[in-house]
Amino acid sequence: MSTDLVSRQCYRLLGRLVIYGGLVVLAAFYLMPLWVMAVTSLKSLDEIYGGSFIDFPKLVTFDAWAKAWGTACIGTVCDGLKPYFLNSILMVVPAVILSTAAGAMNGYILSKWRFRGANIVFGLLLFGCFLPFQVVLLPMAQLLGRLGIAGTIPGLIFVHTVYGITFTTMFFRNYFVTIPDELIKAALIDGAGFFRIFFSIMLPAALPIIVVSCIWQFTQIWNDFLFGVSFTSGEASPITVALNNIVNVTMGRKQYNVDMAAAMIAAMPTLVVYVVAGRYFVRGLTAGSVKG
C-alpha cells in the first residue's frame, strides 16, 4: 500500500471523526434541556435544592409525575393535568380530522376543478397562513359568542379547524397539481363524478400528504397556548393552559420536579407522534415536489 493512499485514508478518517464528533457535541448540547427536565422530574425536592440540576438522581422517585398527573394544584383546583390532557385529546382529534378533510376538498377543487378566480382564492388562503394569531382574537371571540360556543371545547375545535384550513389547503393543492390531469379525464369518460373521483382516485393517491397534514395540525393544535387561554376557561382549558397554571403556582418552595414532570407529560404526545411517524412526515413533504 502506497504512502499517498494511507495518507488519504487517514485524512478521510480524521474528517469523519471531526464531523461525527461535532454532531455528537451539538446533539448533546441540543438535548441538554431534555436531560435536565427528565432527571429533575425524578428527584425529590430536597435533592433538587441541595444538589445540581444536571446530576442523575440519587434516589429515583415518580412522586412528581404522580402529582403533576393527578394531585398537583392548578390554581384553586387540585386535580392535576389528567382532565386537561383529556380536553386536549377531545380538541385535537376532531380539529385535525375536520381541517384535513376540508383542506383535501379545497385542494382538490383548486387543482382539478378550476374556476374563474381560483388563483385569487388560493392566494387569499395563502395570505391566511401568515396572519398572526393576535389578529383573529377579537373577531373570533365575537363570532364564538354569537354562535354560543365561547369558552367551550367545541368552540376551540372550531377555531383550530378554521385557522388550520389555510395550511391544509396549501398542502393538498400543491400535492394534487402533481397528479396527472389525464387520470381525471379518463375517470370522467368512464362516468365518474366529482365525489367518486375524489374518494376513489385523489384520496388514495394523497396518503403521504394526509400524513403530513395530520402531523402538522396535531403539533400546532396540541402546542397552542394563545387560543386556549383566550377562548376557554376553567375545566374546559387545554393542557397547555393547565401547564402554565401549574408552573406559576407559588405556594411555598418552587416545585421544580413537578413543573418538569408536567412539562414532559404535556410534550409526550407530540414527541411520540414524531418518533413514530417522523419519517413519513419527511417523505410526505417531498412526495409532491416533482410533477409527473
Question: Could you read off the pLDDT of 81-94 as tens digits, one per residue?
Answer: 889 999 999 999 99
- What is the dotted CATH code of the domain comprising 82-287? 1.10.3720.10
* DSSP line for 80-149: -SHHHHHHHHHHHHHHHHHHHHHHHHHHHHHHHS--TTHHHHHHHHHHHHT--HHHHHHHHHHHHHHHT-
C-beta of residue 201 within 8 angstroms of C-beta of residue 156: no
Q: Quick one: residue 234, left, alpha or beta (phi over 0 = left, psi -120 to 50 = alpha)?
A: left
Tell which wins on pLDDT, 74 or 28: 28
**Residues 225-277: tens digit of each pLDDT:** 999 999 988 888 999 999 988 887 666 678 888 889 999 999 999 988 888 87
3-state secondary structure of 56: coil
Domain boundaries, the chain: 3-62, 82-287
- Reported pTM: 0.84
Res 143: pLDDT: 92
Q: For the chain, what's the residue count?
A: 292
C-beta of residue 67 within 8 angstroms of C-beta of residue 52: no
3-state secondary structure of 232: strand
Least confident range from 31-40, 158-167, 213-222, 278-287: namely: 278-287
Least confident range from 24-28, 138-142, 204-208, 249-253: namely: 249-253
Report how far residue 35's alpha carbon sits from residue 44's, in angstroms, rounded to the nearest whole number: 16
Report how far residue 107's alpha carbon sits from residue 76's, in angstroms, rounded to the nearest whole number: 46
> Cell triple for residue 278?
417522523
Report how far residue 76's alpha carbon sits from residue 79's, in angstroms, rounded to the nearest whole number: 9
**Residues 6-65: tens digit of each pLDDT:** 677 888 888 888 899 999 999 999 989 889 999 999 988 888 888 777 888 888 888 889
Report how far residue 191's alpha carbon sits from residue 110's, in angstroms, rounded to the nearest whole number: 21
